[in-house]
Amino acid sequence: MSAIPTLLLLLLLVTAFPFSSAAPHTNISSPPYGIGINYGQVADNLPSPSDVLPLLGSLGVNRVKIYDANPAVLRAFAGTGVELIVGLPDRCLPRLAAPSAALSWVKSTLQPYLPATRIAAVTVGNEVLSGNDSSLIRSLLPAMQSLHSALAALGLDHQIAVTTAHSLAVLAVSYPPSAAAFRRELLPFVSPLLAFFARTGSPFLINAYPYFAYKADPKRIDLNYALFEPNAGVVDPGSGLRYQNMLHAQVDAVRAAIAAAGVSKGVEVVVSETGWPSAGDSNEAGATTENARRYNGNLMRMVAAGKGTPSCPAAPLQVYVFALFNENLKPGPSTERHYGLFKPDGTPAYDLSSPANSSASSADGTAKSAPAPALDASTSFYTISAATLCAFDFVLY
């Protein structure tokens, strides 16, 4: 069996579903349990945007996040029903803080493609608060406010949300999840940002990578816990909640930090990036094809089953996998160029349909066997029950 039909089975549950919001006039329409994907283009050998569409169709994906507002992508996705989150690069923030510049940007960059192209949100910068550029940090909220005002002036604020993505480095404490808190020096910037999200109904985006935690301390972190594999779990001593995987613990840490900052409701947490590299340098523990297959395969099954986190079990977690392609021009260690589900020629980077009880690769590359999960509704981390499949219709636009 090829990887593509299996992924299609995992992602059949595609209908329209808005982000939860304290301000219902603003939402991002999206499938309730479908996986989203990051479509990066830091490469010189990728297919054209129009040739990407069949790959998305084969995956059953209709939610895509890009890192700019590339006209070629916006044109190619017109009329397809694919929902886009577009990005505003960091370098644009100081200029876009001016309301007139924000209005000009929306009119020239987004409005010409509407409504044929479904633009659901704009991410203003990427991981700005955990960077070292104080000018960008100071410009972040003003740019977001100006952009939201521009959208409102054009009657587009009901359909296009304004947000920004953060790394977990914005947290001073992340374990246990219930004790998580934002870094004290960032609170003057985080608190008004959270108020903006609560007022506009925009989600808090977090780039969460269990791989980074495992890579940093492979001897102490259980690989199965990082890969959504069966394990004893970790109990939060503060809440008493048991976590069976690290991603859920990371997301609930962000939720706890938001609450500790004084926002108890109205801000949804969405995983804007997560993934596992299929190759890396010799000192990058755990970066193997097998581990990437298990992480992303188990992640997709979990999302397709509508699983929430221990602190919010009834709220299905929305996730964007990083990434669609291996990108050969990304700087940094080798792992940076090996996060893709696909190679540039459109073939799968690895087979996500491999048997569920094959072994994961530990830090030294040796196999770590894990028991296969039972194929019933009680183990929906790993399977999609027949009842779930029958409950929703699949619509490929």
**Each residue's pLDDT expressed in tens, for the chain with a length of 397 residues:** 344 444 443 443 333 333 333 333 334 444 445 689 999 999 999 999 999 999 998 887 889 999 999 999 999 999 999 999 999 999 999 999 999 999 999 999 999 999 999 999 999 999 999 999 999 999 999 999 999 999 999 999 999 999 999 999 999 999 999 999 999 999 999 999 999 999 999 999 999 999 999 999 999 999 999 999 999 999 999 999 999 999 999 999 999 999 999 987 789 999 999 999 999 999 999 999 999 999 999 999 999 899 999 999 999 999 999 999 999 999 999 999 999 999 999 999 998 765 444 445 555 444 443 332 222 222 222 222 222 222 222 121 1
Give the model's pLDDT for residue 383: 23
d(CA 29, CA 397) in angstroms, rounded, equals 14
273, 284, 290, 327: which one is catalytic? Answer: 273
**How far is residue 163 from each of residues 27, 123, 142, 252, measured CA to CA in Å?**
12, 5, 12, 19
Residue 14 CA to chain centroid, in angstroms? 17
**How far is residue 80 from each of residues 62, 74, 229, measured CA to CA in Å?**
9, 11, 36
d(CA 178, CA 228) in angstroms, rounded, equals 20
Task: Verify whether residue 83 is a known catalytic residue.
Answer: no
**How far is residue 178 from each of residues 238, 257, 263, measured CA to CA in Å?**
6, 8, 15
Task: Verify whether residue 127 is a known catalytic residue.
Answer: yes
pTM: 0.84
Give the model's pLDDT for residue 264: 72
3-state helix, strand, coil in the chain (%, to 5): 35, 15, 50
Give the model's pLDDT for residue 265: 79
- In 3D space, the residue among 225, 261, 258 whose CA is nearest the CA of residue 244 turns out to be 225
Strands (E) located in the chain: 17-18, 29-30, 36-38, 63-65, 83-88, 118-126, 161-167, 171-173, 181-182, 204-207, 234-235, 242-243, 269-274, 319-321, 360-361, 367-368
Q: Which residue has the tokens 């993505």?
A: 165
d(CA 305, CA 316) in angstroms, rounded, equals 8
127, 229, 268, 284: which one is catalytic? Answer: 127
- In 3D space, the residue among 40, 41, 123 whose CA is nearest the CA of residue 87 turns out to be 123
